[in-house]
Chain A
Amino acid sequence: MLKLTNIRKLLGLFISILFFSSSVYAEERRLLIDAHIHYSHDAWDMLPPKVAIKVLRDAGLKNAFVSSSSDKGTQLLYNEAPDLIVPVLRPYRKRGELSTWFLDESVIEMIEGRLSKYTFAGIGEFHIFGEDANVPVMKRVVALAKEYGIFLHAHSDAEAVENIFRQNPEAMVLWAHSGFEGPGKISEMLAKYPNLRADLAFRNEHADSGKVDEAWRKLFLAFPNRIMIGTDTYTPERWYYVIDHANWTRNWLRDLPSEVADKIAYKNAQKLADWALKK
């Protein structure tokens, strides 16, 4: 027969195992907000809204910033799961407009119409580089973001980002892919522009096999409140990468101090969405 002390020891062990397992699970399933999701026209058939939402939930996402070519994709997902989707207005009717949209003045009418009709946290992700950020269409986009108090999700080089801030020093800019710049330049830009945020979509350089690169670690620790993660589902097939990407992200986030990891994982994105959606 088991003695009472032994039963207590066993019970203690069981509780410890249970606690340890649940904390490991919580760590593995760290909350994430994916700040870079597209649900464009070519995805709707192969991945209907219910399926797409299931992918996002299966990935353990708290929220997803979604912008689509056309915006109909974002609305389809938002209607399906308003608790999950943070809608962002993409100025493209189809993905092929990414290198011409800023020369097409009819885009303005489209953006104005959508902004007045639907709720958005931002305008983007749009592609704009260098001096093109000063063309009339882009200037109007910057002005509209100011008018609505929402952010700009800019796939841009540093020069275009600087041009946007010249137009409106108070603009809130989420720098897509961190401009594909190295940690030194990103750090310089974040230091220079307090309203600049940066996403890590389609970036690998900052982490390998769960280990954060030292130069990037310095960046993350220097700007823990300004960086967020994202997948970039630029083709329908990329939607099947969201779960793998989330797991990969959780893996390298573990290599950072927990508080910093949580900020990059979801808190920074949450704060940006709350600011834009006036919560």
Chain B
Amino acid sequence: MNTLALRLFAIWLVVFGSVGISLASEFFSEAEKTIIQSFGPWPPPLIADPSNSVSQNSEAISLGKKLFSERRLSLGRDLACSDCHAPDQFFTDGTALNSAHGRATRNTPGLLNLRWSSWFGWGGAADSLWAQSIRPLLSKEEMKFTGKKLRELFSEDIALTQKVQELFEISVVDQSDEALFVIVGKLLAAYEETLISGLSEFDRFNVALSASDNIGIESYLATAKRGLKIFIGKGRCNLCHFGPTFTNGEFGDIGVTQFITKGRIDKGRYQGIKALQSSPFNLLGEYNDDQQGTSRVRTEHVTLQHRNWGEFKIPSLRNAVKTAPYMHNGSIETLAGVVEFYSNLDEERLHIRGEKILRTLNLTPQEKKDLVAFLRTL
């Protein structure tokens, strides 16, 4: 009986499977397949951050992980990085604007796969993961930490001090407040660099597509395949959300409101560039460990432009289904809402010379469902 069943299954595979395979292989053109393959392989090569001397150092990673959950890094000793970037919530907080420790004005972004970013934060106010990790520590709306309190922490935690001194080959007491924050930032970044998401449903499909593994190709949902076709076709989503991380890592103005409240706005990338250029922690400063100097180049070439007003970071779409709500202000609750936003994009809010890529997509109900189905597989 079992043998018969196996034979029947084999016949079914040959007859019906080949029909399906034939359809699948014809579903994407060669040009589309090339674009799809550019979304992989996942993960990209892991290269140490040259600006951080403890990048990929196992002891630093371990210490950084502890500091990530260390509430003593806040003024009231009541708030750790992990309280807003919750590991069990894909390192987000699942809320539009966090109000647990003062009203945030931007959505808490996830921390996965940041090691391949060049700019950090919705406005790109930091050009390294370690500089970005310092920002919430010093923020008056967040952890409100101070140099004095950081010194107290080192004084009372001898083990921490010893490890830091060994790792960085310095004497903690001889360091300025700024330099101590850099040390903490670099330790946190060493850990955060290790936060990499696993293979997604899409990645498995992409591997199968590259290998012409027809069974692997067929196991990817038909609706997701159609959504992918829209993503790289009618939707042109891949013009900004490209490569293995599904982002160009830059900034865009898609017309989401900048108003925080009446009379108060978020300047986005414009403010980010200003903050970046005046920050003692940027890669042009003394805390960059890169001996070659190549990591400075990108920051050196940043100039403030009119278009930066109202631009926000183009986020990675990996794990998008797990990191709701969306947009810089968390104003859209679901992926379906995001697709709806682009389908009805308000071109009146875009400058004719601004985001020339963007246009109202006018998707059909089925196309919207398919696009959401695809996004859910990332």
Q: Which residues of A contact B (CB under 8 A)?
A: 42, 46, 51, 94-96, 98, 127, 155, 177, 180, 202-204, 208-209, 232, 234-238, 240-241, 244-245, 248
Count contacts between A and B, CB distance < 8 Å.
52
Whole-angstrom CA separation of A236 from B257 in the bound complex: 9
Residues A46 and B259 in contact in the complex (CB < 8 Å), given A202-B306, A204-B306, A235-B310: yes
Residue B140 interfacial (CB < 8 Å):
no
Residues A127 and B352 in contact in the complex (CB < 8 Å), given A46-B259, A238-B309, A241-B309: yes
Kindly name the residue among B262, B304, B306, B309 whose own CB sees the greatest number of chain A CB atoms within 10 A: B306
Residues A234 and B351 in contact in the complex (CB < 8 Å), given A51-B263, A204-B305, A241-B306: yes
Listed A/B pairs (7) with beta-carbon separation below 8 Å: A180-B353, A204-B303, A209-B303, A234-B351, A237-B309, A240-B258, A240-B267
Whole-angstrom CA separation of A245 from B258 in the bound complex: 17
Residue B349 interfacial (CB < 8 Å):
yes
Cβ of B353 and Cβ of A202 under 8 Å apart? yes
Interface of A is mostly: helix
Cβ of A237 and Cβ of B352 under 8 Å apart? no
Closest chain A residue, CB of each to CB of B346: A96
Closest chain B residue, CB of each to CB of A95: B348
Whole-angstrom CA separation of A95 from B349 in the bound complex: 9
Residue B347 interfacial (CB < 8 Å):
yes
| Of B265, B347, B349, the contact of A240 (CB 8 Å cutoff) | B265
Q: Which residues of B contact A (CB under 8 A)?
A: 255, 257-259, 262-263, 265, 267, 270, 303-307, 309-310, 347-349, 351-353
Cβ of A237 and Cβ of B265 under 8 Å apart? yes
Whole-angstrom CA separation of A51 from B310 in the bound complex: 20
| Of B258, B309, B348, B352, the contact of A94 (CB 8 Å cutoff) | B348
Closest chain A residue, CB of each to CB of B267: A240
Kindly name the residue among A203, A234, A235, A244 whose own CB sees the greatest number of chain B CB atoms within 10 A: A235
What are the residues of chain A within 8 A of B267 when measuring CB–CB? 240
Closest chain B residue, CB of each to CB of A209: B303
Closest chain B residue, CB of each to CB of A40: B348
What are the residues of chain A within 8 A of B307 when measuring CB–CB? 202, 204
Kindly name the residue among B267, B270, B348 whose own CB sees the greatest number of chain A CB atoms within 10 A: B348
Cβ of B347 and Cβ of A96 under 8 Å apart? yes
Q: What's the nearest-Cβ distance from chain A to residue B151, in Å?
A: 37
Whole-angstrom CA separation of A98 from B353 in the bound complex: 13
Closest chain A residue, CB of each to CB of B305: A204
What are the residues of chain A within 8 A of B348 when measuring CB–CB? 42, 94-96
Whole-angstrom CA separation of A127 from B348 in the bound complex: 13
Whole-angstrom CA separation of A177 from B354 in the bound complex: 13
Q: What's the nearest-Cβ distance from chain B to residue A231, in Å?
A: 8
Whole-angstrom CA separation of A42 from B258 in the bound complex: 13
